[in-house]
Amino acid sequence: MTVRTTTPDSTPLAAPDLSSRDPDWWRQAVVYQVYPRSFADADGDGLGDLRGITRRLTHLAALGVDALWLSPFYPSELADGGYDVADPRDVDPRLGTLDDFDALVAEAHRLGLKVIVDIVPNHTSHQHVWFQEALRAGPGSAARDRYVFRDGRGERGELPPTDWHSVFGGSAWRRVPDGQWYLHLFAPEQPDLNWENPEVRADFRTTLRFWSDRGVDGFRIDVAHALVKDLSEPLRDLGAPELSREEALTDLPPGTHPFYDRDEVHEIYRDWRKILDAYRPPRTAVAEAWVPGARRALYARPDELGQAFNFEYLQTPWDADALRQVIADSLAGARAAGASATWVLSNHDVIRHASRLMLPPGTDLDAWLLSGGRAPAVDAAAGLRRARAATLLMLALPGSAYVYQGEELGLPEVADLPTEVLQDPIWEQTGHVRKGRDGCRVPLPWTTTGPSYGFGPGGSWLPQPPDFAAYSVEAQDGVEGSTLELYRTALRLRRKLLDGEELVWAEDTPDGVLQFDRCDGWRCVTNLSGATVPLPAGEVLLTSAPLEDGRLGPDTTVWLGR
Ligand code: GLC
């Protein structure tokens, strides 16, 4: 029996042949999310940038991912970390230029990496020329019709047009000096677009072509489920603030919410698919749609976006029965839609899984963050052990896996950021009740020493805790058993073992254990039982933690071959 927990060298596998134009490259791809402002800073202003990313692309190639997804890098005042886009067809000058973008794509392709960019169609920044024009043009103008402007209620129009709430807290309406109100489902600096307006539709077609022509391979569609609103007059109230949250969708008849998951939104994606399919290979797309499973699959239909993030998987607690159910449902849903499944454990909006999976089910995550991560305290070593097991499980599932920068280093959530450094609009908009998402956006540590641990020569826009040194790439590179080496080995093996999109659950599995075959010669076993369990027969290809006297310890995943 051989146990390999590290890879002997970290050279990338032969780059996939991009000229092969394989239209299905994305179906089982591993996509690495880069949050540009926190990845690597070349110019030393403390904010990550495109040249920083380009210099570090060899890290992604050595990791063995297939693609990188860039969160927004467009001009933005950063009212919502770049998701407030002032111009969707340019680069924020603090992050670089369009030439830098082209250089990034060229280098990525040279290394065999595909590039996916983020499209934000639900809203713009209030600094977008359209919104500035709308403010000047006044009520009833064509410029205002690109957004959702309405008169208020009350004798003098002093009350918002509806009781809709923003995802970030407070009313979803803001009043402008001439008395009208505009809709913003997110921050006030993010006015919602009106997708009934043909100019809005045309402009996004232009944006898709603009980036496709520059060589990007796919798109991540931000808030894909909210574009179409029921704007028939009079706009209707929801009746309770909690009904403005996506969570309400599980209780409402499908397609009836005034701004989430309306049936008409699918026309937009059918239109986009025609544009994306005009390229060779066709451009891919993945929906960010926080809607319940069966409805989510609709966004992933082959004549629409092709994939949708599986947030139910992300939200499932570390429990064998719950995970088995969500895996089975997700695979069935994807199959029924003709899509491939997706899996994600961490991203720039959620608590990193090395911390989150340790919190008892039902923990109020906002309260946990407010406590600075102390109530309850999370044991970092135990969290890392569980995260590594969860990752090997995810990487064995059929479909594509989305990996968030820093999880390959085992980074925990930075839950104790002092409130005075917080940048997420959620903090202010909730009146200091929710700290928001900065704790998963702290810039990456590349080196064990030096300014900002190698993130850049000029410090970092959010403070990094001292223990980031031990998580850095330098500290883990080539170190047997490190999380970085575990990811590298897992991704290398996964490429070799991938065969088909099926999964067969094994019979006779002990309680608290997940066990399935991906294909003849690749079995994945995850022990969530809290006790050691016998190791099934087979050659040990990889383990997330050392075996214990030949048995599988708690919170451990093993990949077995024949
Ligand atoms: C998506 C993004 C999130 C952003 C929001 C508004 O959920 O992932 O970061 O705040 O959309 O654009």
Residue 11's pLDDT is what?
Answer: 39
Residue 17 known to be catalytic: no
Please give the number of the atom of ligand 1 that sits closest to the Cα of 122: 12
pLDDT band at 519 (very low <50, low <70, confident <90, very high): confident
Bridge partners (DSSP) listed for residue 219: 117, 285
pLDDT digits (tens, 9 = 90+) for 60-88: 999 999 999 999 999 999 999 999 999 99
521: CA distance to ligand 1 center in Å?
40
Bridge partners (DSSP) listed for residue 159: 153
Other C-beta atoms closer than 10 Å to the C-beta of 543 total 24
Phi then psi for 79, rounded to 5 degrees? -70, -25
Is residue 328 over pLDDT 80?
A: yes
Hey, whose CA ends up nearest to atom 12 of ligand 1?
83
d(Cα 160, Cα 138) in Å, to the nearest integer?
18
Pocket test residue of 69, 167, 221, 223 for ligand 1, highest count of atoms within 8 A of CB? 223
Residue 450's pLDDT is what?
Answer: 93
Bridge partners (DSSP) listed for residue 307: 286
Is residue 531 over pLDDT 50?
A: yes
Residue type, 177: P
Among 180-194, 243-257, 384-398, the range scoring the smallest mean pLDDT is 243-257
C-alpha dist (Å) from residue 553 to 224, 481, 486: 41, 16, 17
Hey, whose CA ends up nearest to atom 7 of ligand 1?
223
Is residue 342 over pLDDT 90?
A: yes
Is residue 520 over pLDDT 90?
A: no
Please give the number of the atom of ligand 1 that sits closest to the Cα of 84: 12
Mean pLDDT value across residues 36-58: 98
Is residue 230 over pLDDT 90?
A: yes
83: CA distance to ligand 1 center in Å?
6
The interaxial angle of helices 198-213 and 265-277, nearest 10 deg, is 30
pLDDT digits (tens, 9 = 90+) for 261-277: 999 999 999 999 999 99
DSSP 150-192: E--BSTTS-B-SS--B-TTSSBSEEE-TTS-EEE-SS-TTSPB
366: CA distance to ligand 1 center in Å?
17
143: CA distance to ligand 1 center in Å?
25
Rounded to 5°, the CA angle 291-395-359 comes to: 60
pLDDT digits (tens, 9 = 90+) for 96-108: 999 999 999 999 9
Residue 428's pLDDT is what?
Answer: 96
Element containing residue 108 per DSSP (H, E) = helix 98-110
Show the 3-state SS of 370-395. Answer: HCCCECCECCHHHHHHHHHHHHHHHH
Ligand 1: list residues with CB < 6 Å. 80, 83, 120, 186, 222-223, 288, 348-349
84: CA distance to ligand 1 center in Å?
9
Is residue 7 over pLDDT 80?
A: no
Please give the number of the atom of ligand 1 that sits closest to the Cα of 185: 6
Residue 237 known to be catalytic: no
Among 11-15, 97-101, 285-289, 508-512, the range scoring the smallest mean pLDDT is 11-15
Is residue 14 over pLDDT 60?
A: no
469: CA distance to ligand 1 center in Å?
29
DSSP state of 490: H
Hey, whose CA ends up nearest to atom 2 of ligand 1?
222
State pTM to two decimals.
0.96
pLDDT band at 202 (very low <50, low <70, confident <90, very high): very high
Percentage of the chain lying above the pLDDT 90 cut: 93
Residue 20's pLDDT is what?
Answer: 46
DSSP state of 467: T
Tokens of 448: 């064990």
Is residue 454 over pLDDT 80?
A: yes
Hey, whose CA ends up nearest to atom 4 of ligand 1?
83
Is residue 501 over pLDDT 60?
A: yes
- Per-chain mean pLDDT for the chain: 95
Is residue 9 over pLDDT 50?
A: no
Q: Is 154 left (phi over 0), alpha (psi -120 to 50) or beta?
A: left
Q: Which of 49, 192, 217, 288 is catalytic?
A: 288
Q: Which of 66, 80, 222, 438 is catalytic?
A: 222
Among 11-15, 45-49, 173-177, 228-232, the range scoring the smallest mean pLDDT is 11-15
Please give the number of the atom of ligand 1 that sits closest to the Cα of 349: 9
Pocket test residue of 38, 77, 83 for ligand 1, highest count of atoms within 8 A of CB? 83
480: CA distance to ligand 1 center in Å?
37
Is residue 5 over pLDDT 50?
A: no
